[in-house]
Amino acid sequence: MREPIRIVVTGDLVLDEPDADHWLSGIAPALRAADLAIGHLEVPHAIGGEELAGDVPAPAAPPGNLAALARAGFGMVSLAGNHIADCGARGIAETRAGLAAQHIAFTGAGADLAEAREPAIAEVKGWRVGLLSYNCVGPEAAWATESRAGCNYLRVDTADGSPIAPAAPLAHVPGAALDRLTRDIAALRARADIVLVALHKGKVHTPALVEPYERALADAAMEAGADAVLGHHAHIVRGIAFAGHRPVFHGLGNGCVVTSALSPAQDHPARREWAERRKQMFGFEPDPAFTLAPFHPQAVNAFMGELVFAGDAPVRTSVIAVRVEPPGRPVLADEPDREQIFRYVEAITRHASLPPIAIGADGRVAPA
């Protein structure tokens, strides 16, 4: 019988500041203690590349910061998001090469759609762990095609026919997208013992909200046989649902996001304008102490997910409480912050009209 395997999962990783080891050091002990740690790499780590039009472009992060991810304990990342193509084909190629050099498995972006769709598979303690990664929020210019570099995706149509973009009113998941998700999970199940599905989804900077299309995608993934769904993109944590004992993390929030790209005091006009406009769009004012993580004030309540697989037993799900300290460094929470974060996650799950959950003193999560 195989030994149990412990997987820790985080949300968005944006490390475009110097000294990445410092910014990751507050959560690194929990990552290193896992048998496998998985995050979502939000931006390219590259020197070159052309700026992509179609969204507010994020700057590339230093390629050397990928080594810090490996030192912190990350062994696998998803890439399919709305910023991974911001430096074009060259940015994606340099990011893939850098991750490979650090022996970090990856999936979700490539030189064409076939490469972007290829899942990541890692063998750990005799378990084959597979990960699929999808961008569900656009922009379409970032999506890979048969002849264009970009990210893997699932099309979600807008309610008003507007272009598919991260701030658009996404509403309906076409049958073709659900069919592709189902086929991909079945194909990966034939190659892996554990199947995880990463979905870049949801309305950014908005507490609690889980939109109908998000539920439809998560339900389809679970019906197709996924062992867990890992949601990210909103830069704030969301509620947790279950399909039997299998968890859906509707939003893992920020794993570690430290960036100057969201500051109004910068030379890039589109990023400067977005830093101001998003406050009006989403109705929040960042705490001025969080200069490198100017997000919704509730985003200081963070967590990492923990999954334990043991033989044929149901997956055991827990959360590891994280608080974000100024100017943006995540750290493992101590009491009383841990208790407060557990209650926060229970509350936002209820407020999203998801079935209630209960989180024990040890972080164990179960349907209430």
Chain segment 120-161, per-residue pLDDT in tens? 999 999 999 999 999 999 999 999 999 999 999 999 999 888
Instruction: List C-alpha distances in Å: 292 to 52, 121, 259, 261.
Output: 23, 33, 5, 8
Q: How many angstroms separate the first and last alpha carbons of the chain?
A: 31
* CA-based max dimension of the chain: 58
| Angstrom distance (rounded) from CA 362 to CA 311 | 22
Contact between 330 and 255 (Cβ < 8 Å): yes
pLDDT band at 79 (very low <50, low <70, confident <90, very high): very high
Tokens of 300: 């200081």
Tokens of 203: 């309305």
What is the mean pLDDT of the segment spanning 154-170?
A: 88
User: What is residue 17's predicted lDDT score, i.e. its pLDDT?
Assistant: 94
| Partners of 133 in beta bridges | 198
**Tens digits of residue pLDDT in 340-363:** 999 999 999 999 999 999 999 999
Q: Helices marked H in the chain — which ranges?
A: 20-24, 28-33, 65-72, 88-101, 113-117, 175-189, 212-223, 269-282, 337-351
Above pLDDT 90, what percent of the chain?
86
3-state secondary structure of 364: strand
Q: How far apart are CA 108 and CA 143, in angstroms?
A: 10
Domains of the chain from N-terminus onward = 5-367 (3.60.21.10)
Answer with the residue of higher pLDDT: 43 or 261.
Answer: 43
Contact 77/33 with Cβ under 8 angstroms?
A: no
Q: What confidence tens digit (pLDDT) does each residue in 180-211 have?
A: 999 999 999 999 999 999 999 999 999 999 99
Contact 222, 336 (CB under 8 A): no
Is the pLDDT reported for residue 54 higher than 70? no
Q: 226 near 241, Cβ under 8 Å?
A: no
Q: Look up residue 284 and give its DSSP letter.
A: -
Using the predicted structure, report yes or no on whether residue 271 has a pLDDT greater than 80: yes
